[in-house]
Chain A
Amino acid sequence: MEISQFQLDALREIGNIGSGHAATALSTLLQRRIEMSVPEVWAVPFEQISNIIGRLDAPQATIYVKVEGEAPGKAVFFFPVESAEIVVQALLGTNESRDMYSDEMAQSALKEVGNILVSSFLIALTQFSGIPLQPSVPALAVDMIGASLDAIFLEEGTLDELVLFIDTQLTGIPEIEGQFIFLPDEGSLKKLLGAMGL
């Protein structure tokens, strides 16, 4: 389906509100003031995501949540491994270096953070559309970002060709960046936009 600039602008606003929720939750969790903003939103065909995320073999921590409800889809939050490690250290209250590839405690902390971030965006989408969206238990991969994303994209369900890409910036912890992706199942994006009068 096609998506207009007007619809994209509206989605960016929703993204901003979602990131506001996420920032509040993260601030509580990490006991410091975190702010988040959404500078940019894109809707692109999956095959072109490398134009946005750059290197497909860059190591990133990817948290994947299935979205159930009337407008099902998949929601993903990912950040560079170094950023993920900083977040985990803040959460666990330590400066100790953590092996993000194998440390189970670090991974479970990361899933929790991802879960909060993803849920915050889903809550914002629900507020605007009135369509309830429930997240599944999160799954995590710390690996090449292209590999993680292609696996998510191709796993079951027919998907709309478009990927909704919400760039997020966190301030409050230095040098953290992350990105949120919503992959609507076929028809879900139309349903959401329709429910929001867009």
Chain B
Amino acid sequence: MSGVISVGMADYKTARAPDLLLTAGLGSCIGICIHDPVLKVGGMAHIMLPTANGSLGGNPAKYADTALELLLKEIAGMGTNKSRLRAKMAGGAQMFSFPGRPLVLKIGDRNAEAVEQELKKHGIPLLVADVGGSFGRTIHFDVGTGELRIRTINHGEKVV
């Protein structure tokens, strides 16, 4: 029987098949999912901001760059081969808009861009990016199959 491991905000976890990783209520945050299809292990990080640059310490799992590094390190410790790793991501929405006020910083978009760049830097292919829109997402990631289930309240549910 598979267990469900919950990943909180600014948090990351690894798992082995048949366990699932879950993060609930992603808005402009992003859930990064990584897995090794051969070993059937993987991990998920729930990042909040693009980069730790300039921030005064704090939790490194909050940022795309430092969280990915931590996650990859832990996944490497499970005996994976980095060249086999595959990535998917979801989130990065824009939940609110104020009429007549231009959005200077779309943090969701910036997060998605940052994750994409960091993955590229690590040479990990990004197979799925379900990002943007103006709705929340809850995601389940099956580290064995690499299936990512994305649930929303009013915008359907899908497996990618």
Query: Within B25-59, which residues are at the interface with A (CB < 8 Å)?
Result: 25-29, 48-49, 58-59
A50 touches B9 (CB 8 A): yes
A143 touches B135 (CB 8 A): yes
Residues from chain B with a CB closer than 8 A to the CB of A181 are none
A39 to chain B, nearest CB (A): 24
A98 to chain B, nearest CB (A): 14
B94 touches A151 (CB 8 A): yes
**With A57-B24, A64-B96 in contact, is A148–B105 under 8 Å at CB?**
no
Residues from chain B with a CB closer than 8 A to the CB of A103 are none
- B interface secondary structure, majority: loop
A56 touches B96 (CB 8 A): no
B25 touches A141 (CB 8 A): no
- Whether a CB of chain B sits under 8 angstroms from the CB of A147 is yes
Query: Within A43-67, which residues are at the interface with B (CB < 8 Å)?
Result: 46-47, 49-50, 55-59, 64, 66
- Whether a CB of chain A sits under 8 angstroms from the CB of B159 is no
Q: How far is the CA of A153 from the CA of B28 in the complex (A)?
A: 10
Residues from chain B with a CB closer than 8 A to the CB of A137 are 98-99
Q: Point out the residue from A47, A141, A161 that lies within 8 Å of B96, measured CB to CB.
A: A141
B interface residues, Cβ below 8 angstroms from A: 8-11, 24-29, 48-49, 58-59, 62, 93-99, 104-105, 107-108, 134-138, 151, 153-154
CB-based nearest B residue for A153:
B48
CB-based nearest A residue for B137:
A147
Q: How far is the CA of A64 from the CA of B99 in the complex (A)?
A: 13
B24 touches A56 (CB 8 A): yes
B105 touches A147 (CB 8 A): no
Q: How far is the CA of A64 from the CA of B153 in the complex (A)?
A: 20
- Whether a CB of chain B sits under 8 angstroms from the CB of A149 is yes
- Whether a CB of chain B sits under 8 angstroms from the CB of A96 is no
A46 touches B137 (CB 8 A): no
A selection of 19 A-B contacts at a CB cut-off of 8 Å is A47-B11, A47-B62, A50-B8, A57-B25, A58-B25, A101-B154, A136-B98, A139-B97, A143-B135, A147-B27, A147-B137, A151-B93, A151-B94, A151-B96, A153-B48, A154-B48, A154-B107, A155-B28, A156-B105
A144 touches B98 (CB 8 A): no
Most B Cβ at <10 Å: residue of A137, A139, A147: A147
Q: How far is the CA of A55 from the CA of B10 in the complex (A)?
A: 16
CB-based nearest B residue for A102:
B154
Q: How far is the CA of A148 from the CA of B136 in the complex (A)?
A: 7
Q: A143-B136, A143-B154 are in contact. List 8 more A-B contacts (CB 8 A).
A: A47-B62, A56-B9, A59-B153, A101-B153, A144-B27, A144-B138, A148-B27, A150-B9
- Whether a CB of chain B sits under 8 angstroms from the CB of A146 is yes
B24 touches A47 (CB 8 A): no
**Cβ proximity bits A18-54 to B, threshold 8 Å, 1 near / 0 not:** 0000000000000000000000000000110110000
CB-based nearest A residue for B111:
A154
CB-based nearest A residue for B48:
A154
CB-based nearest B residue for A99:
B154
A146 touches B24 (CB 8 A): yes
- Whether a CB of chain B sits under 8 angstroms from the CB of A145 is yes
A43 to chain B, nearest CB (A): 17
Residues from chain B with a CB closer than 8 A to the CB of A64 are 96
Q: How far is the CA of A26 from the CA of B107 in the complex (A)?
A: 35
B93 touches A152 (CB 8 A): no
